[in-house]
Amino acid sequence: MALDGIRMPDGCYADGTWELKMHVTDLHRDVSLRVTGEIHIGGVMLKLVEKLDVKKDWSDHALWWEKKKMWLLKTHWTLDKYGIQADARLLFTPQHKLLRLQLPNMKHMKVKVNFSDRVFKAVSDICKTFNIRHPEEASLLRKPRDPKKKKKKLEEAEEAALELEGPLLTPGSASEIIYIGPVKGSIYSSPGLYSKTMTPTYDSRDGSPLSPTTAWFGDSPLSEGNPSILAVSQPISSPDILAKLYKSQSLLDKAKINQGWLDSSRSLMEQDVKENEVLLLRFKYHSFFDLNPKYDAIRVNQLYEQAKWAILLEEIECTEEEMMMFAALQYHINKLSIMSSGNHMNNSEKEVDEVDAALSDLEITLEGGKTSNTLGDITSIPELADYVKVFKPKKLTLKGYKQYWCTFKDITISCYKSKEEAHGTPSLQMNLRGCEVTPDVNISSQKFNIKLLIPVADGMNEIWLRCDAEKPYAHWMAACRLASKGKTMADSSYNLEVQNILSFLKMQHMNPDPQFIAEPAVTNDINSECLVSPRYLKKYKNKQISARILEAHQNVAQMSLIEAKMRFIQAWQSLPEFGITHFLAKFQGGKRDELIGITYNRLIRMDASTGDAIKTWRFANMKQWNVNWEIKMVTVEFADEPSLAFICAEVDCKVVHEFIGGYIFLSTRAKDQNESLDEEMFYKLTSGWV
């Protein structure tokens, strides 16, 4: 046509075509195509590849619109439908890009992740490749930048040093890079293990693989090396690593770190994640479902590692006795890990009849495990009755504990002046539904306190209970925890809760055997500087810490490797601060910034300086929650109490909204349902309308 080459003032040609500018990232080339608004995206890519005339597999490439921060993945859509005009600049780039992933054990791994997938899907693919079940509990977190370090190169040098210290897989060539998720035309894809009828994959004692590596890692490059390395705990080799990572953190510092969680309903590219960037893979939601050593050796180990680092870096508070107990468990796990890796280098020696293993597992499942419930438990609700010391702290008070005869029925504690008056009117009565229960225990001084924050109309009433010994404390503590959730002692979990509390206390005992004499060689082998947080290294000498760790080790010395890791995780879960994710917020009617704490079953309004709970709201009592995206306000409505409203400070309210929706989503899981994830339900609960 004669008008083909005539260009109009608006940049379009007289025949209705216009130039679309594109940049091909692989070739570092700018290319222009003559197009019309009616051409579809698939046609644009086809024209582009033909014009490039480079023999290459382009199947993983897609178009990215820089200005709008969006992938053009709907290839049947036209340019007009997307709203693309002559002023647009598109990138033709691979969807799978390199990412440096820091696992919970602080080791780095280079992986190729789909930058066009939503983060929730990308994390699911990562976890499938690493054989970590229940990926909905994990997510990606941006590495917090230290404001004191102005030079970015210095931080990168430190990261490289950490990576060289013990990489899980040395990335040397393209074949050694792990591809996450299905890649068109590629052999790399990991089915993951999600079938409920699967046979046990790991030895339940030490976490070593039972079957050939190809059976449980598929075509993943991990099967070419030593796949069990993800399930093996590697001891901290030098106290310098701990010292570099350690920072004294306030609650406000912790709240700032939580700003870095990525949005699960948007892709990595949409959130400005760059190729080769370091992201942290962490267990985001502290609600660990169906944790089974037979299938979850890698998941258990990575959970143990996340717990270990949280305690060593003092991201979570614990007492001195608890720190020594955690150190003893670490020492035990380190010893057994070294022995286990030596014993299982050749898995061909271990022959397991998988049919027998499956039948054994089925038998345990059908029997429901050992149970101590009697018929009496079905017909009557257990009660507690004992003399307990009660304290009601008030400002400017010097009064101490007062002894009462206390009865615990259903979810209510009634206090009487004496046992004889128990049939009369109680002096004090407490309904524990929705209360906060915090332990305050010191084994060496025989202090067994339970701190209760009971919700009332204008806040929380604080009551302290003191028991005389471990056994009554365990029963009262277990009953209080269940009552806070609206459950009675007739609940099947009561006896298990009592046993968990008793075993947690038992591990903290310091009863050195008079016949036990620590040899210098054994003491030197402990490497106590890497087992406790730096605060204790300033307080005690290494020999003193080593001696205390050896004392505590006697309580755990008979445990198997996987049992010790599970006990470590359970002890972590027993800490008062466990599972609380903090965010800075300004509450409606409040004058200053406070903290909102989010856990698996409740929201907590907290004092920003002390961390004390001011008010608690349970998810079970929640009707709905809404977000005003313009003013960053989250409003939560409850069934029988006033609604809660707060504005998110220094954090996108989408992060807070996703935590609430995420925990609601996790609460819908059940063991009898199909283990495939309902992604759409997750997005409905967490994505919102932005």
Please provide the average confidence, as pLDDT, over all residues in the chain.
82
Residue 206 confidence (pLDDT)? 60
Higher pLDDT, residue 370 or 136: 136
In whole angstroms, what is the distance from residue 546 CA to residue 671 CA?
43
Dihedral sign for Cα atoms in the order 553, 555, 560, 564: negative
Average pLDDT over residues 421-440: 92
Q: C-alpha distances in angstroms, 213 versus 177, 217, 221, 590, 620?
A: 18, 6, 11, 57, 43
Summarised one tens digit per residue, pLDDT across range 451-468 is 999 988 777 888 999 999
Under a CB-based contact definition with an 8 Å cutoff, are residues 129 and 180 in contact? yes
374, burial (CB in 10 Å: exposed 0-12, middle 13-18, buried 19+): exposed
Q: Are 479 and 494 in contact (CB under 8 A)?
A: yes
Select from 3.40.50.2020, 3.30.365.10, 2.60.40.1120, 2.30.29.30 the CATH code of 383-489: 2.30.29.30
Q: Which residue has the higher pLDDT, 504 or 521?
A: 504
User: Which residue blocks in 235-319 are alpha helix, DSSP H?
Assistant: 239-245, 251-257, 297-312
Secondary structure of residue 99 in the 3-state scheme: strand
Tokens representing 230 are 């993800």
- Residue found by looking up tokens 């899980």 in the block: 168
pTM of the model as a whole: 0.83
Does residue 672 carry a pLDDT above 90?
no
Confirm if 672 and 610 have CB atoms less than 8 A apart: no
Helical ranges in 118-250 per DSSP H: 119-129, 152-165, 213-217, 239-245
Pick the most confident of 307-311, 484-488, 490-494, 610-614.
307-311
Confidence of residue 224 (pLDDT cuts 50, 70, 90): very low
Q: How confident is the model at residue 179 (pLDDT cuts 50, 70, 90)?
A: low
Q: Please tell me the predicted confidence (pLDDT) of residue 574.
A: 92
pLDDT at 5: 57
Q: What three-state secondary structure class fits 304?
A: helix
Q: What is the arithmetic mean of pLDDT over 314-331? A: 94
pLDDT value, residue 195 = 42
pLDDT, tens digit (0-9, with 9 covering 90-100), for 275-310 = 999 999 999 999 999 999 888 999 999 999 999 999
Condensed to tens digits (0 to 9), the pLDDT of residues 105-134 reads: 998 989 999 999 999 999 999 999 889 999
Give the DSSP H or E segment for 327.
Answer: helix 320-343
pLDDT surpassing 60 at residue 74? yes
Which residues, listed in sequence order, are joined to residue 409 by a DSSP beta bridge? 412
The 10 Å Cβ neighbour count of residue 243 is 11
Same fold, 18-94 and 383-489: no
* Residue boundaries of the structural domains of the chain: 18-94, 383-489, 581-688
Q: 641: closest CA among 430, 460, 473? A: 460
CB burial of residue 142 (10 Å; 0-12, 13-18, 19+): middle
Which residue in 263, 93, 261, 119 sits closest to 181, CA to CA? 119
* CATH number of this structure's domain 581-688, picked from the four choices 3.30.465.10, 3.40.190.290, 3.90.1150.10, 2.30.29.30: 2.30.29.30
pLDDT band at 380 (very low <50, low <70, confident <90, very high): confident
* pLDDT for the residue 458: 72
Q: Does domain 18-94 have CATH number 3.10.20.90?
A: yes
